[in-house]
Chains A and B, each alone.
Chain A
Amino acid sequence: MNLLTDSILVLLILASFLLLSSSRLSNCIKTVALQGMMVGVLPLAANDSLTCRVTAIALVIAGMKGIVFPYMLFRTLRESTTIKELKPYVGYTASMFAGVVSLVASFWLDSRLHLPVAASSRLVVPVAFSMMLTGIFLIVGRRTAVNQVIGYLVMENGIYTFGLAIVRDVPLLVELGVLMDMFMAVFVMGIAIYRINREFDHIDSDQLNTLKG
Chain B
Amino acid sequence: MQIDGGLIILLLILLPAIFSGVCQMLRAPLQVLRFCIAGVVLVSIPGLVAVFQVFRKGPLFAAGNWLMLDILSAYHLLIMMMVFTISALFAVGYFREEIDMKEFTIKHARRYGSLWFGALAAMMLVLVSNNLGVMWVGIEATTLITAFLICIHVTPGALEAMWKYLMMCSVGVAAAFTGILLTAASTVPVGIHPTEALLWTNIMNSVSSMDPVLVKAAFIFIVVGYGTKAGLAPMHNWLPDAHSQAPSPVSAIFSGFLLNAALYCILRFLPIVEAVTGNSGWGRDILILFGLLSIVVAAIFIIGQRDVKRMLAYSSVEHIGLIALGVGLGGLGTFAALFHMFNHSLCKSLAFCCAGRVGQAYGSNDMRKTTDILRSMPVLGGGLIGGILALIGVAPFAIFLSEFIILKTAIDSSRYWIAGIYLTGLAVVFVGALRHAIAMAWKPPEEMAPDAPAKICLADAALVVIPLIILLILGLWMPKLLAEFILKASIVLGALS
Residues of chain A touching chain B, judged by Cβ–Cβ distance below 8 Å, are 113-116, 118, 132, 136, 139, 145, 148, 152, 155-156, 159, 162-163, 166-174, 177-178, 180-181, 184-185, 188-189, 191-192, 195-196, 199-200, 205, 208-211, 213
The 8 closest A-B pairs by CB, nearest first: A174-B133, A169-B194, A177-B137, A208-B160, A166-B185, A181-B140, A211-B241, A171-B195
Interface of B is mostly: helix
Q: Which of B134, B194, B306, B310 makes the CB contact (< 8 A) with A173?
A: B134
Judged by a CB distance under 8 angstroms, whether B154 is at the interface is: yes
Q: How distant is B262 from chain A, measured CB to nearest CB, in Å? A: 15
Interface residues on B, range: 35 or more
Contact A159 B310 (CB under 8 A): no
Judged by a CB distance under 8 angstroms, whether B151 is at the interface is: yes
State the CA gap A159–B188 with chains docked (Å): 19
Contact A211 B194 (CB under 8 A): no
**Interface code B156-197, partner A: CB below 8 Å = 1, 0 otherwise?**
110111111011001100100110011011001100001110
Residues of A within 8 A of B133 (CB): 170-171, 173-174, 177-178
Q: How distant is A96 from chain B, measured CB to nearest CB, in Å? A: 22
Q: How distant is B413 from chain A, measured CB to nearest CB, in Å? A: 33
Other A-B pairs beyond A139-B167, A213-B240, 6, CB < 8 Å: A155-B174, A170-B184, A171-B133, A173-B134, A174-B137, A188-B166
Q: Which of B143, B159, B194, B305 makes the CB contact (< 8 A) with A171?
A: B194
Contact A188 B147 (CB under 8 A): yes
State the CA gap A83–B189 with chains docked (Å): 50
Q: When A177-B133, A200-B156 are in contact, do A166 and B167 touch as well, CB less than 8 Å?
A: no
Q: How distant is A44 from chain B, measured CB to nearest CB, in Å? A: 19
Q: How distant is B206 from chain A, measured CB to nearest CB, in Å? A: 16
Q: How distant is B184 from chain A, measured CB to nearest CB, in Å? A: 5
Q: How distant is B125 from chain A, measured CB to nearest CB, in Å? A: 10
CB-nearest residue of chain A relative to B141? A181
Judged by a CB distance under 8 angstroms, whether B400 is at the interface is: no
Interface of A is mostly: helix
CB-nearest residue of chain B relative to A196? B159
Residues of B within 8 A of A113 (CB): 213, 217
Contact B134 A174 (CB under 8 A): yes
Judged by a CB distance under 8 angstroms, whether B278 is at the interface is: no
Residues of A within 8 A of B177 (CB): 159, 178
Contact B178 A211 (CB under 8 A): no
State the CA gap A114–B144 with chains docked (Å): 35
Contact A163 B181 (CB under 8 A): yes
Q: How distant is B470 from chain A, measured CB to nearest CB, in Å? A: 33
